[in-house]
Amino acid sequence: MGVGGKHVSITNSPAPPRVHQGEVKFSDVPINSDVEFHYILSFAIDYSKATTTPPIPSNGKFEKFWDTENLSSTAVSAIKKEYSNVKVAVSLGGATIGNGKYKVYFKATSVDSWVSNAVSSLTNIIKDYNIDGIDIDYENFSDEDDTDTFTECIGRLITTLKRNGVISFSSIAPFDDAPVQRMYKALWSKYSSVINYVNFQFYGYDADTTVEQYVKYYDEQVANNYPRGRVLASFMTENTDEAGVISADTGFSACQELKKENKLYGIFIWSADASLSQGFTYEIQSQALLASSSSPSLLVA
């Protein structure tokens, strides 16, 4: 896989265990004008925001669960006006809700009703916030064997939003978990033509993963699971020691190695909230790495 276009995406964090109360703003993040830079808002979730315990799935009726005070529609328009290379996406689903107390499950009453509700609710959110794309990040499934429903709901959603001119790009965010891979591989098999990026969560591998092993994992995803896909490298800037996963240093070193091998299409970094206290060191380094390529791309999360 050759190097693609210059691309950056950065997301804020959602509720714990993947949250930080850094109150990050778009303007906090340094942006290199020589890369394509994407922010990803986390998350829009099809669960009711009513005070029910536990929260209730709403069959495709999405609500905003990100920090809408700091990451407002006005702020979206302002950062896109200031930087012509910036786009904004919204991530759908995520791992948890209710301050990390409850898992978010993909759950559809029927394909037709879920798609209808999702298209309607997301169109309103996307237009209100001047958003350019969506990222699919469901990580839990009420029926781990029903790949058809997930495939059709997500595939039709992306197809419809693109056909209607509501979004210009889409991405998916799988990771190395058997039920998750089963769902996303089925989706990719049928609807890869409407999916622009694969934001694979390589940072989920064990902390003792070496750069050589990371590159091997990357090659496996490209060759076996998401062929012909624009698979982005990734790492996280959260406390990886506590999480027991790959460090940011190892992840960035792997990105450097992938670039040497002409395989680095882009980089996905989780998360802007965690990076705020670090002065966005890795975001700056990653953009410089990509900008020095013939046509690189960065996705920051």
User: Which two three-digit tokens encode residue 55?
Assistant: 């929260």
Q: Which of 23, 36, 69, 139 is catalytic?
A: 139
Q: Where are the alpha helices (DSSP H) in 130-167?
A: 147-163
Looking at the chain, the number of H-run helices and the number of E-run strands are: 9, 14
Residue type, 200: F
Q: Where are the alpha helices (DSSP H) in the chain?
A: 73-82, 111-129, 147-163, 178-191, 211-220, 240-243, 248-260, 272-276, 281-291
Residue 57, strand partner residues: 47
User: Which two three-digit tokens encode residue 152?
Assistant: 């059709």
Looking only at the bridges linking them, the beta strands covering 105-106 and 267-270 are unpaired
Q: DSSP code of 277?
A: T
Q: Is residue 139 among the annotated active site residues?
A: yes
Exposed (0-12), middle (13-18) or buried (19+): which is 64, by Cβ within 10 Å?
middle
Alpha carbon 128 to chain centroid distance?
A: 20
- Coil, strand or helix at 53: coil
Q: Please check whether residue 41 is in contact with residue 12, taking contact to mean a CB–CB distance below 8 angstroms.
A: yes
Question: CA 166 → CA 80, 131, 137, 143, 158, distances in Å?
Answer: 17, 9, 19, 30, 10
Which residues are CB-neighbours of 195 under 8 A, at least 6 positions away? 158, 170, 171, 172, 187, 188, 229
Rg (CA), the chain: 18
Active site residues: 139
